Amino acid sequence: MSAVTQTVVALQRRPLRTFLTALGTALGIATIVALLAVADGAKRSAGEFFHLGASDLGLFQADAADPTTSVLPLSLGHTLLATPGITGISPILLMIEDIPSQLGAVVYGVEPHTFLTDRMVFLSGHMFAGRNQVAVGNLLAQTMHLRVGSALVIAHHRFTVSGIFHIGVSIQDTGAFIPLATAQAITDKPGETTTFAVRLGIGTRPQVERARLKRRFPGLIVIADGEEAPRAGANAALLAKAATVIAVLAIIIGGIGVMNTMLMSVIERRSEFALLSAVGWSGRQIAIRVLIEGVLTTILGTALGLLLGVIGAGLLVHVLGAGEFVTPDVTAWDLGDALLVGVLLGVLGGLYPAWRAARVSPAQVLAAR
């Protein structure tokens, strides 16, 4: 009988201990998978947020703690339009948590005829034509049961829905668009905007244009890729670091849990290991058996953890009310990383118990009995 087969039989004889060890690993793996899924989803949403579907660059204030707190002068738009390589701009004033029943919905203050708004496909109605009208994304309309002519309260101001649109970018389809001048009046930011979405000409390289704009406007952060989103604000960077810290803690706690459970198993089974030693097993063979047991148990826990992580990522976003901003994205790389971590937990968590098992002395065990 091979060492693996013997280990499997030993695990089956102690189902409760095996389950508890696997559960400890599963919780750690589930935490890691959930964090990676949310992080990847946030990264994808960031790309949508900064590019807003059709733009090549997003311009934000450099010292803003968060992209939504960026403040740029609207007059900057004239300078941008005169810049070679730039064929269109769309100033956008972002309003966050201003729809009382849908705090996750973003309200965009925009000018009605730009490359951004021209992409809207209206399922009913039309673009806003007055300062108290609002164009609503189809996903927000579905959630709030809105239709053309419905009333929508934004920042304590009553708007009439002029149309329901679809763009294909979730963060916009779950939001609403109002006139830029109206948004400026509501937020008391006359002549200001949050960001400029920039469209480049055919053949213009975003990275080259980004470098040129950064040299010309040192006070701007120029985002050319969703991967660069964490640079746009201190809060995003802190969240990314916090996710990394939590993932590391999950690995450490999972490893300690595996080691503790395996160590208790070794202590309880000293007689078994002493008997194996007495019948000719070497310390190396006993240690390998304990290591195999740890790895098999954590693989079982990893399988359970992957399932819990995928489910937990969606629940986490739902509980935090961040579904409008982040849709968890579980990739094959995330699952592969989690599986690798699970195997490492089994190896690292089983090293010390394996060493203890290999040092069990038959004479000492018999004397203690």
CA angle 188, 178, 148 (to 5 degrees): 145
SS3 content of the chain, % helix, strand, coil (to 5): 60, 15, 25
369 versus 274: the higher-pLDDT residue is 274
- Categorise residue 129: left if φ over 0, alpha if ψ from -120 to 50, beta otherwise: alpha
Q: What is the pLDDT of residues 231-284, one digit of tens each?
A: 554 445 555 555 566 666 666 766 676 677 777 777 777 777 777 777 777 778
Is residue 345 within 8 Å of residue 251, measured between CB atoms?
yes
Amino acid at 319: V
- For the chain, give the percent of residues with pLDDT over 90: 21
pLDDT at 237: 52
Q: Give the bridge partners for 108, in sequence order.
A: 94, 177
86-100, 313-327, 332-346: the lowest-pLDDT one: 313-327
Predicted TM-score (pTM) of the model is 0.60
Question: What pLDDT score was predicted for residue 296?
Answer: 80
Model confidence at 97, pLDDT cuts 50, 70, 90, reads confident
CA 355 to chain centre: 39
pLDDT at site 75: 92
pLDDT per residue as tens digits for the range 286-319:
788 778 877 787 788 888 878 877 777 767 666 6
Task: Assess whether pLDDT exceeds 90 at residue 135.
Answer: yes
**Class of residue 228 by CB neighbours under 10 A (exposed 0-12, middle 13-18, buried 19+):** middle
What pLDDT does residue 235 have?
46
Report how far apart the first and last C-alpha atoms of the chain are (Å, whole number).
30
d(CA 196, CA 208): 18
Q: What is the pLDDT of residue 121?
A: 93
